[in-house]
Amino acid sequence: MRIENSVVIDKVSKDLIILRYNDTSTKYFEALWEIPEGVTYNAYLLIDGDTTVLFDTWKKGLESEFLNTLNSVIDIRDLDYVVIHHMEPDHSGSIKTLYERNPGITFIGHPMTSKLMRNLYGISPKFRAVKDNETLSTKNYQLAFIHAPWLHWPETMFTYIPQIKALITCDVFGAYTIPKSVFIDELSDEYISSMRKYFANIIGFYKDNVIKNLDKVLAVTEGNIEIIAPAHGAVIKGNLVNKAINLYREFTLKTPVNRKIVIAYSSMYGFVDGIMSHVAHVLSDWGFNVSIYKFTDKERASIGDLIGEANNALGIVLGVSTYDTEPFPLMDYIINLLIKKLKGGKPVLLITDYGWGDVVLRHVKTRLEKADFTVIDAISVNGIPTKEDLDKIDIALQSLKQALTQ
């Protein structure tokens, strides 16, 4: 049973309110990633006496829902500032409507934001471009705007509010899923995998910027962060803040500290399937924690989940059938995503299968190596594996084990 779309309005602190939309309708986030778990868009509103500051909005298409929600808390004509942390339309969706309803609003953002406002929404409202660490003072609060480029677009920034030690982070620290409450009580394994999936799917391509920006934020805030308020998922507070920051560091690690191996393969008529059952069996027997993502005539795994889990796997095994002289299309696509989002750094065992022309192996191997993956071994099988093929595969598995337990 699917829950209906719904709205949550709640306090994050005395004067900071969350306006959250629980989206159960979007099937493919960014028209790409499967999200049966749903997603939230979190906007925040600071009401400090006469001054009101809105941080971000909701997804494009939810303008009337957003306006109604905001109107139930304040009169839009009283809104003074809208801080735009990120121009992707899952957050900026209502800015045009806000501007039309109240042309007096001062929009605040990174210097690149005004051009994006014009290009994406055709508007040029009153705009204050803020420098890195520039501040805005209201009666009781001082907002510091920290540029966080490439998390997840070039114009992204965070807001730090020292008086409540809150860091508003937009996509960073976000998660897919619709948490039951505004704050999360614990970073459960399930919640961590939602965060990792969001991280790998959305920010993975820019992972080199994560640590750089986190270190900068920790320096600017002197580590005084008690609330992390992201734009997707739950608000993180108290002792979970440091845990979340450390998790983010882990997400960027090329060599994780676990025993996870992700096996991903296609199989049209069961040839690769047979080989991979053997591979999974051997690796499980050796105590690895194996996750299988298969693409067959009976099932199609979630590619978003696969990328999320592969991001922190110790190693990857790929099984690729040959299809019209090329890698099976879904595997071709997955290999592309692994290259783009994981950025290499992991051992991979590659097994391909063909009927009459052994053309795929070399091509995929070269692509993976160019992308900084370590191809432990690459084996091509012609249809049913022979005894010799199986021996080669067993030797390759030994090499993989050795590479992963060094």
Chain positions contacting ligand FMN, by CB under 6 A: 266-273, 321-325, 353-357, 383
Distance of closest approach, residue 359 Cβ to ligand FMN, in angstroms:
7
Distance of closest approach, residue 202 Cβ to Fe ion, in angstroms:
6
Distance of closest approach, residue 318 Cβ to ligand FMN, in angstroms:
13
- Residues ≥6 apart with Cβ < 8 Å to 316: 261, 262, 263, 264, 310, 338, 346, 347, 348, 349, 373
Q: Is-contact 58 43, C-beta < 8 A?
A: yes
Interface with Fe ion, residue 48, by CB under 5 A? no
Site for Fe ion in 363-402 (CB under 5 A): none
Nearer residue to ligand FMN within complex by CB, 238 or 270? 270
Nearer residue to ligand FMN within complex by CB, 15 or 353? 353
Task: Count CB atoms within 10 A of the CB of residue 220.
Answer: 17
β-pairing verdict for 16-23 and 6-11: antiparallel
State how far the Cα of 248 lies from the Cα of 47, in Å rounded to an integer. Answer: 31
For the chain, the distance separating the N- and C-terminal CA atoms, rounded to the nearest angstrom, is 46
Interface with Fe ion, residue 65, by CB under 5 A? no
Interface with Fe ion, residue 171, by CB under 5 A? yes
DSSP tag of 12: S
Tokens 């692509």 belong to: 367
Among 85, 96, 147, 152, the residue binding Fe ion under the rule CB under 5 A is: 152
Distance of closest approach, residue 286 Cβ to ligand FMN, in angstroms:
24
Write out the two tokens for 224. Answer: 């005084």
CA 162, 163, 168, 173 torsion-angle sign: positive
- Residue 90 binds what, of Fe ion, ligand FMN, none (CB under 5 to 8 Å, by partner type)? Fe ion
Nearer residue to Fe ion within complex by CB, 152 or 343? 152
Nearer residue to ligand FMN within complex by CB, 84 or 275? 275
The H-assigned helical ranges of 152-223 are 189-198, 208-221
- Residue 269 binds what, of Fe ion, ligand FMN, none (CB under 5 to 8 Å, by partner type)? ligand FMN
Written as one letter, the residue type at 405 is T
Write out the two tokens for 197. Answer: 């999936």
Distance of closest approach, residue 400 Cβ to ligand FMN, in angstroms:
20
The window from 125-133, 166-174, 221-229, 389-397 that contacts Fe ion (CB under 5 A) reads 166-174
DSSP tag of 63: H
State how far the Cα of 203 lies from the Cα of 15, in Å rounded to an integer. Answer: 30
Nearer residue to ligand FMN within complex by CB, 139 or 387? 387
- Residue 63 binds what, of Fe ion, ligand FMN, none (CB under 5 to 8 Å, by partner type)? none
Distance of closest approach, residue 48 Cβ to Fe ion, in angstroms:
26
**Contact positions vs Fe ion (CB under 5 A):** 88, 90, 152, 171
